[in-house]
A and B are shown apart, each in its own frame.
Chain A
């Protein structure tokens, strides 16, 4: 009798970017009071893992690297039905870019795998604050996992044979890929809907002790590869996009018809070829 799949889902707590404002005078980010959320893409990863658990049994461990307050994200995931939450938190991890982040997460996943090998690591497609889509491939490379990015569906999985097939979004179509476990899957958005937590799960989550690991507990071997120190990329400048030198020229006119005519004149004046370009558009042939 197999014990089902041992799965780890990497989630990140991110600022709700819809609510970030730039100070109009100092041009700095106004972070105060910006609420944090679980990176939306990671919720698809969490649901995909739980759906596999429904099929084959097993455990879903959620893992996040961040400040102590990131424990909130783990509790939320536990409330939706994850089995175990691990917070990776240490001042040595601060200021990590994707290379250093994937290093720290890899150490923790290997630690998790010591008691029982991990079959699948899930990440979101990308984060909304970092937006790089690099951490997943980084973990796969470091751990030697088969890398499956932009996955939209997992039609078959055979734990005995250690095989999995997935649909992977590619340019202009979908690749159907077959590979061996263990693997790393980055889930595409809009592939599933996160289930609501059951009442017992929600109650359990509220009281749950989130395990917190520092670098040592996570078995990090080389602290120099973590955080700012282990990050080859450095942010040299953050700034708000500059406004265009001139604002839009406003079209004057008493009626909608008049405004429309004046607007076309203005467009044609700036770009004398515009109307002939329009006349040549292939879509007009029909």
Chain B
């Protein structure tokens, strides 16, 4: 993206016509990220979002599935329809078993050149970002990374909004003179719709025009992460987090105790990671995890913008802060002004009692 975004560039005043040869580009595509037989949930979030864009443009929504033939790929195709795709472009090939830049880039760019989508969305996972950068350069088109909001403007261009300058500001970026308009979105930023198991659609198959000898890079091994907890935080229904207001590493326990009573995941603001009080996979925010829980309890966290962008997708936020003017109260739904070291144990106890009563009644 442009690095000096203080002058509103094109897009104001006279709207530029799309060059003639690009008018053939139609439909919204979502890359369905399939690895080790499983689909990354960000793909379903993007199909849900893509549905809205396709409706605004009055075009079809398609999923792109790249993988080896087998059960995982079959169910990825079926589920893509459940999450809203009208069509699936499928490239089945044993070379697409483990992710490698070259075969995936070839499969994707060939599909785009043949079927010409106007919008192409990918998850901002390590795989999605690797692929998106290679595909956009090959196609010489615009790519906007880590978008938090996507919309269609009156000229049928996609307006992609993302945090900039480390999250202190937002900017809206357009690709007016090239197609497809590409964007990546981080997991959990968009809401995932309910699947409709009765939906199905058309499958368009294409071949990968490549043999193993064409691919220089070989996958020697895959070492799964030992900490299976890694992904949990992003998907937890309830999250409790602490910030510098906890004052001492020992007080992390107060956050963990409340989390235990709620069956919640726990996390923290960035300074606690830097101090080594928690492991990096528990950081919430712009450079950590984005969460979308039903309830987020933040104790002793000021609510800096970088923290906010990763947590404001929560349905309800309860903030505990000793300072009534802390910025977190600008986006929390409920606030307790008080000392987190007292409030956290009190909340733990009150929830314990309340849940016991509820269980008896239920």
A residues whose Cβ falls under 8 Å from a Cβ of B: 15, 17-18, 20-22, 28-29, 94-99, 102, 128-138, 140-142, 146-150, 165, 167-180, 190, 228, 231-241, 243-244, 247-251, 255-257, 259-261, 263-264, 266-267, 270-271, 274-284
A-B pairs with beta carbons under 8 Å apart, 14 shown:
A21-B168, A98-B136, A138-B133, A138-B136, A140-B101, A147-B134, A171-B126, A172-B230, A232-B142, A232-B178, A241-B308, A248-B335, A260-B349, A284-B263
Chain B residues within an 8 Å CB radius of A239: 169-172
**Once bound together, how far apart are the Cα atoms of A96 and B1, in whole Å?**
7
Verify B350–A275 contact, CB threshold 8 A.
Answer: no
Q: With contacts A174-B222, A236-B172 known, is A132 near B145, CB below 8 A? A: yes
The residue that A276 contacts in the complex, of B133, B280, B343, B362, with Cβ under 8 A, is B362
Q: With contacts A150-B126, A175-B219 known, is A264 near B143, CB below 8 A? A: no
Chain A residues within an 8 Å CB radius of B222: 170, 173-176
Verify A147–B130 contact, CB threshold 8 A.
Answer: yes
User: Smallest distance from the beta carbon of B278 to chain A beta carbons, Å?
Assistant: 14
**Once bound together, how far apart are the Cα atoms of A161 and B355, in whole Å?**
65
Tell yes or no: B52 within 8 A of A by CB.
Answer: no
User: Smallest distance from the beta carbon of A187 to chain B beta carbons, Å?
Assistant: 13
**Once bound together, how far apart are the Cα atoms of A195 and B178, in whole Å?**
43
Verify A170–B99 contact, CB threshold 8 A.
Answer: yes
User: Smallest distance from the beta carbon of A28 to chain B beta carbons, Å?
Assistant: 7
Tell yes or no: B174 within 8 A of A by CB.
Answer: yes
Chain B residues within an 8 Å CB radius of A234: 2, 9-11, 173-176
The residue that B2 contacts in the complex, of A97, A134, A170, A278, with Cβ under 8 A, is A97
New A-B pairs, 13, CB < 8 Å, besides A142-B137, A172-B225:
A102-B137, A135-B133, A137-B137, A171-B126, A174-B223, A236-B9, A241-B169, A244-B331, A248-B333, A256-B338, A259-B343, A271-B315, A279-B362
Closest to B221 in A: A176
Chain A residues within an 8 Å CB radius of B191: none
Tell yes or no: B164 within 8 A of A by CB.
Answer: yes
Verify B334–A232 contact, CB threshold 8 A.
Answer: no
Verify B166–A233 contact, CB threshold 8 A.
Answer: no
Verify A128–B166 contact, CB threshold 8 A.
Answer: yes
B residues whose Cβ falls under 8 Å from a Cβ of A: 1-6, 8-12, 33, 35-36, 40, 98-102, 105, 125-127, 129-130, 132-134, 136-138, 140-146, 159, 162-178, 216-225, 230-231, 237-238, 260, 262-265, 280, 294-295, 305, 308-309, 315-319, 324, 328-339, 342-343, 345-347, 349-351, 354-355, 358-359, 362
Q: With contacts A29-B6, A140-B134 known, is A130 near B1, CB below 8 A? A: yes
Chain B residues within an 8 Å CB radius of A232: 140-142, 175, 177-178
Verify A241–B362 contact, CB threshold 8 A.
Answer: no
Verify B220–A177 contact, CB threshold 8 A.
Answer: yes
Q: A interface, by DSSP: helix, strand, loop or mixed?
A: mixed
Verify B173–A22 contact, CB threshold 8 A.
Answer: no
User: Smallest distance from the beta carbon of A140 to chain B beta carbons, Å?
Assistant: 7
The residue that A281 contacts in the complex, of B174, B264, B308, B349, with Cβ under 8 A, is B264
Q: Which of B162, B166, B167, B225 has the most A CB atoms < 10 Å from its CB?
A: B166
Chain A residues within an 8 Å CB radius of B170: 238-241
User: Smallest distance from the beta carbon of B76 to chain A beta carbons, Å?
Assistant: 15
**Once bound together, how far apart are the Cα atoms of A124 and B2, in whole Å?**
18
User: Smallest distance from the beta carbon of B332 to chain A beta carbons, Å?
Assistant: 4
Verify B230–A279 contact, CB threshold 8 A.
Answer: no
Q: With contacts A132-B143, A233-B174, A271-B316 known, is A259 near B334, CB below 8 A? A: no
Chain A residues within an 8 Å CB radius of B102: 147
User: Smallest distance from the beta carbon of A262 to chain B beta carbons, Å?
Assistant: 9
The residue that B3 contacts in the complex, of A96, A250, A270, A275, with Cβ under 8 A, is A96
